Amino acid sequence: MSIPAAYIGVILIWSTTPLAIQWSGDEVGWLFGITTRMCIGVLTGLLVALMFRIRLPWHAAARHTYLAAGLGLFCAMTTVYWAARYIPSGWISVLFGIAPMITGVMAHIWLQENALSPGRIMGLTLGIAGLAVMLIGSRTLGPGAALGIAGMLFSVTAYSASAIVIKRIGADIPALATTIGGLAVTVPLLLAVYVLTGEPLPVHVPPRAAVSITYLGMVGSVLGFAMYYYVLRHVEATRVALITLVTPVIALLLGNLLNGEAINAEAWIGTATILTGLLLFEYGQRLNGWKIRLQELVIKRAPAP
């Protein structure tokens, strides 16, 4: 696969996923939307694994990885679908952009990684400020918007915690196997929730909802992850991180153009602040290294007294 094509593919998939999430619940309910999506996703993943003869490891570390991925996916995605009822689709992508910051904080605490340099702390502060601005702007969206933002924060935290646990397990298994194993854990949990809540099956599934569910199940849940891990293996991490800076802006514009979602001033200001914080968080440590090297260079070239 062409690396630039895969890179662009990830950007397009991640940019269109929030809008597809909202459309997938049209007249059928958000729980039906996510459950059918994950069922399609696990079946598609198994078919791809069968076609390419990719075996799913079943040793202890692999099973623990599947469990961590599945629980994280269940908590994160169910909350995203629930929150999507209260906030514009573009906000989903913006709020999910803080995932690297939360992951960095968790890595600093639980993995003893030196992930919080002064530049990163400043980036984290800007991210929190951007969230505050968006929370203020959410008042124009109705009383449920604050709940939607809170739901997204929980979703991002669950997603980040799952990533940290998977890293601590450290199982050397294929990325597609992790995806399929996580989906296989998520699907029974979703089916159990569907039965326990007594949610009736929809009599009719509108074409837009059906296309969105199929797109999310086959493309968003399988192809998107496969492309992302492919890019992650062939492109340096700092360039991969740029994806999270591009997708929120595209998602906001798509929501405005295709779904008629108004973008108020607070949304733009909050988005710009969060993305600036994310940029500083991702590159702050590198800038600090450049500063130190520049100081060392100046000292070396300084004339002797």
The answer to whether 118 and 285 are in contact (CB under 8 A) is no
For the segment 242-260, the average pLDDT, to the nearest whole number, is 90
pLDDT per position as a tens digit, 35-81: 999 999 999 999 999 998 888 999 999 999 999 999 999 999 999 99
Q: Of 157, 169, 160, 161, whose CA–CA distance to 131 is shortest?
A: 157
Residue type, position 122, single letter: M
Q: How many helices (DSSP H) and strands (DSSP E) are in the chain?
A: 13, 0
Assess whether pLDDT exceeds 50 at residue 302: no
For the segment 171-190, the average pLDDT, to the nearest whole number, is 90
